[in-house]
């Protein structure tokens, strides 16, 4: 039985991961913003899978979020064996028209928070020479995205960061994995107002499908996971096509803009 800390757990991929790891007998630490949803999720997972579930309710984009999380973990005296950096959101649209305050918050959450929390958790894992870290990237990690410029840039950072950590820890007991899903049926798309784009009308996966594909590969410590043949094809094409072509295709896929 391991202790799994998951951020962004009240919906989508994070929620699916929480249920999967709980179903495998692991204790769960839920970290998200909505206290009411966290309380409901805690009760469900405990009653359904008979594991210990704790939660931390906080806005993870705030500067002191990591300090608060680490203080709570220390108070509980719970070693983190598995960290899943899943929390995220999108502010989508042409860059001159998007909300810069939301984009700064997105940068804080996707980059600063993930970097800080990973560093703090790694110091714990290094003491035991054991642990898993899963970072959630995106097909956008590979493709600069006109009309989604800042989001894809943050996910490109997560990819570069994860690949570098994989190189640093590959000969240790600490495993680093990057998961890059494509369009997934979650609240993420609705909140970003991109549900009606072509991107979310073709080969959209359910969160449970993503987790089912990813879970055994994560446990083995695979470096990169791209779930779904369609997503693999998109990324392959992005590597061989000229940038001006991928830019045009991206604009078509994000046709709200």
pLDDT digits (tens, 9 = 90+) for 142-163: 988 899 999 999 999 999 999 9
CB 154 within 8 A of CB 107: yes
User: Do 37 and 25 meet the contact criterion of CB atoms below 8 Å apart?
Assistant: no
* Structure confidence at residue 257 (pLDDT): 53
**Six-digit token pair at 109?**
């959450």
pLDDT of residue 28: 98
Q: CATH homologous superfamily of domain 3-253?
A: NAD(P)-binding Rossmann-like Domain (3.40.50.720)
Place of tokens 């309710």: 57
Which carries the bigger pLDDT value, residue 235 or residue 37? 37
**d(C-alpha 236, C-alpha 228), whole Å:** 13
Q: Which residues of 151-174 are buried (b: 16+ CB within 10 A; e: fewer)?
A: bbbbbbbbbebbbebbeebeeeeb
Catalytic residue among 151, 166, 169, 215: 151
Contacts of 44 (CB under 8 A, 6+ apart): none
pLDDT of residue 22: 98
- R_g (Cα) of the chain, nearest Å: 18
Annotated active-site residue 151? The verdict is: yes
pLDDT tens digits for range 61-102: 999 999 999 999 999 999 999 999 999 999 989 999 999 999
The tokens for 236 are 């392959």
User: Is the C-alpha dihedral spanning 114, 145, 205, 227 positive or negative?
Assistant: negative
For residues 128 and 136, what is the distance between their CA atoms, to the nearest angstrom?
24
> Cα 216 from chain centroid?
17
Distances in Å between the Cα of 147 and the Cα atoms of 106, 159, 221 are 15, 20, 33
Element (H, E) at 188: helix 187-191
Angstrom distance (rounded) from CA 171 to CA 25: 27
Amino acid 249: pLDDT: 75
What is the reported pLDDT for 107?
97
Q: How far is CA 62 from the centre of its chain?
A: 18
Domain ranges for the chain: 3-253
pLDDT: which is higher, 199 or 116 = 116
State pLDDT tens for residues 169-220: 999 999 999 999 987 776 655 554 655 555 555 667 899 999 999 999 999 9
Provide the whole-model pTM. Answer: 0.91
């Amino acid at each position: 039985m391991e202790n799994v800390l998951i951020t962004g757990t009240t919906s989508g991929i994070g929620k699916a991961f929480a249920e999967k790891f709980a179903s495998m007998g692991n204790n769960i630490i839920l970290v998200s913003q909505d206290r009411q949803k966290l309380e409901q999720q805690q009760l469900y997972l405990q009653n359904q899978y008979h594991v210990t579930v704790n939660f931390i309710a906080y806005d993870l984009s705030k500067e002191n979020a990591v300090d608060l999380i680490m203080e709570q973990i220390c108070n509980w005296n719970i070693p983190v064996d598995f960290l899943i950096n899943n929390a995220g959101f999108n502010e989508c649209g042409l860059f001159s028209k998007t909300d810069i305050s939301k984009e700064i918050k997105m940068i804080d959450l996707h980059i600063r928070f993930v970097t800080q929390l990973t560093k703090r958790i790694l110091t714990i894992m290094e003491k035991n020479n054991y642990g898993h870290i899963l970072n959630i990237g995106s097909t956008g990690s590979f493709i600069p995205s006109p009309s989604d410029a800042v989001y894809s840039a943050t996910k490109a950072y997560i990819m570069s960061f994860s690949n570098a950590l994989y190189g640093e820890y590959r000969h240790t007991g600490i495993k680093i994995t990057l998961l890059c899903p494509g369009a997934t049926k979650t609240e993420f798309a609705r909140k970003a107002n991109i549900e009606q784009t072509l991107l979310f009308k073709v080969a959209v996966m359910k969160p449970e499908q993503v987790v089912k594909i990813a879970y055994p590969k994560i446990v083995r410590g695979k470096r990169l996971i791209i779930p779904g043949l369609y997503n693999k094809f998109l990324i392959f094409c992005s590597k061989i096509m000229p940038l001006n072509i991928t830019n045009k295709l991206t604009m078509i896929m994000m046709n709200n803009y």
